Each structure stands twice: as structure tokens, then as C-alpha cells.
Amino acid sequence: MGIGMKELATLAGVSQTTVSLVLNGKADGRIARTKQERVRELARQYRYRPNLSAKGLREQKQYTIGVAMPMPVNPYYSDMVSRIQERLVLCGYMALFSFWKSGNEIEAALESVFLHNVDGIITWNYHDSLTREKIPTVIYDERHPGMNTVELDFQYSTEKIVAYLRELGHTRIGYIGNLCDKRATTLEALLHREKLPVNPDWFVSARRSTLGGNDQTIRAFLTLEERPSALVAQNDSLATACIFHAVRAGIAIPGDLSIVGFNNTCDSEYTLPPLTTVDAMVDQVVNALINTLITRIAHPDMPEEICTIRPELIIRESCASPKTGDIKE
């Protein structure tokens, strides 16, 4: 059986107010970091459980957050689901997840959240129903007037990737993934700006989310008579599949083809060779989403805020200088 706030405060040697501030994400700048970590660790160890029924009646809240997002079929989204759940529990909220497989299911996914009278919503996409319902909302990676947003700085990460590949000597750079994704459009614009070749055959559309869903597309790309010397993948799953099929086709990674992934999922360092990738900062993203939403719930009339997080390039062993064709400047 879990403990309550009074018992947790006694164990931590702090006041109940301090416990409340820490577990509701309001302690930064007010409570020492070491003390915050002690409260969170004891909460996990002794299975702290807030009395949400009593608290909800007292404050006219459900203490439930709706999370509407694409089906978590890739490791990055799966990781985000578990981190969101864990973080919301520590903040005294229950997570209500609603998923969609395609864009035409977004409205239905949000409607299922609305039915449960949630206190706030974290969503991956804007829909007009969000404005209609007037529920405190934070959107991940999509800006909309009047809405709070937490986003990744793809311009920054793409510049890091291209600078690194150019330093190695690459000038022929391709992409595989959803060609409408910001990673693709940002890379294409940057290649134009840097006066590097942009070959339509080197920008490969691969929209399937599952690990093996793009096998035929990848194999076709690898048979091109003229390939880029470096390939940027939309995510680590695609990058892993590209390494697998390249090795099977006798294409050496990174000797014949350098590959960069995106997300830095937990298995990316165990590919052969270990994958150079971009860390999508899942902990920072989740903390920003939840802290922003809890602040919005407490202050519904606050101005909209945009929180931009810079992903970092993680250099491992899947990239090297090209053998031929590119000239290092």
C-alpha cells in the first residue's frame, strides 16, 4: 500500500508544501535540486499515492491529462508514452492516452479524450475542436496561434548533421523518410543554401512506421546506379533497416555509405556499426510538455509560449569519409 503526502513529507524531512511543489512541477527556483530528487526518490520507493478523489472534489478537477498522439509503433514514441505516464504520476495526474493511425483519425482520438472531462491535453497535432472545447492544451512540434508549443529545433540539428558530413568530405547527401516531415524539408533547404546537389532520387519517400515496413523501398534505393555517399534517416528504425539491407547487399557501412539516424533510441548504439544519430532529448521534451501544461491549467489566461529544444548530434561509427566522388573542401 502506498503512502500519503503527510508520510512522504515526514520521510523526506520537509513540509507538505515542499512535497506538493516538487510533485506538481513547481519547485524549480524555489526548492534545492538535491531536495527535489530526494522527494521524488522517496515517492517512488514508498509508492506515494495522492488522494485524487478528495483533492478533485475540493478543487473541482479530475486530475487527468489526455494525451492524443500517433500510434506508438516506433521506439521513440513508445519511450515518450512511458516517460509521460511516469512523469504525470509523479505530478499527481493520471494519463489518458488516445492514439491515431492516420491523420483522418485525429478528430476521433481527440473526441474520445473530450468525453472524459480531462483537465488538460497534450497532443501531437492541432485540430479545430481544441479551440472549440477550450481545454488547456500544449502541442508537440506544431505551432498554432493561441496554443502552447514544445518543439525540436530541426534547423539546428540539420545544420549540425550537414556540417559534420561536410567535415568528413561528403557533398552528396540524401534522405529517407516522410518527405513532408520537417527533417526532410529543412535538409533540402539547407542543401540548396550550401549549393550542394539536391537529387530527387536521393530523397526517398518511406512513410511506413514499422521497422520492416519500408524494406522494398530501401532495397530499391540501394540499387541506384548513383547513390549519395551519406544518407540521413528520419528516425533510428529507418536507419537500422538501411544498415541491415546495405550489409546484405554487400555495401559497407560506413565505407561505401554513411548513415545518420534521428531520435537516439536505446538500441541505436547496438547496431553494427553503432549508429550516429541525433538525440531528440526525450526527457527534456516530456518535462517541457508536462510543466507547460500544468502551468497553463493553473493560469488559463497566460500568453501562449513556445519552448524550443535543441537536439544534439551523437557521433558513433556509422559515418566516415567517402571513398570516391566527393571532394573535401
- pLDDT at position 44: 86
The radius of gyration of the chain from alpha carbons, rounded to an integer in Å, stands at 23
Q: Which residue, chain included where needed, has cell 526518490?
A: 41
Kindly state the DSSP code that residue 303 receives in the 8-state scheme: P
Which residues are registered as beta bridge partners of 203? 175
Looking at domain 154-280, its CATH superfamily turns out to be: Response regulator (3.40.50.2300)
Per-residue pLDDT for 1 more than 60?
Answer: no
Q: Cell for 269?
A: 548504439
Spatial contact of 68 and 95, defined as CB atoms under 8 Å apart: no
pTM of the predicted structure, to 2 decimals: 0.79
Task: Outline where DSSP puts E strands in 153-279.
Answer: 173-177, 203-205, 230-233, 258-260, 277-279
Buried b (16+ CB within 10 A) or exposed e, 105-120: ebeebbeebbeeebbb
Mean per-residue pLDDT, 218-236: 96
- pLDDT at position 20: 84
CATH of domain 53-152+281-310: 3.40.50.2300
Kindly state the DSSP code that residue 201 receives in the 8-state scheme: G
- pLDDT at position 328: 46
Q: What is the pLDDT of residues 177-212, one digit of tens each?
A: 999 999 999 999 999 999 999 999 999 999 876 677
113 vs 327, more confident: 113
Per-residue pLDDT for 310 more than 90?
Answer: yes
How many CB atoms are located within 10 Å of the residue 206 CB? 23
Percent of the chain with pLDDT over 90: 76
Same topology for domains 53-152+281-310 and 154-280, yes or no?
yes
pLDDT band at residue 270 using 50, 70 and 90 as cut-offs: very high
Domain boundaries, the chain: 5-45, 53-152+281-310, 154-280
Q: Which whole-number Å values give the CA distances from 159 to 134, 175, 202, 297, in the listed order?
A: 37, 14, 18, 36
- pLDDT at position 76: 92
- pLDDT at position 329: 47
Least confident of 203-212, 215-224, 269-278: 203-212
pLDDT band at residue 51 using 50, 70 and 90 as cut-offs: low
Spatial contact of 36 and 291, defined as CB atoms under 8 Å apart: no
- Give the separation between CA 205 and CA 200, rounded to whole angstroms: 10
Q: What is the mean pLDDT of the chain?
A: 91
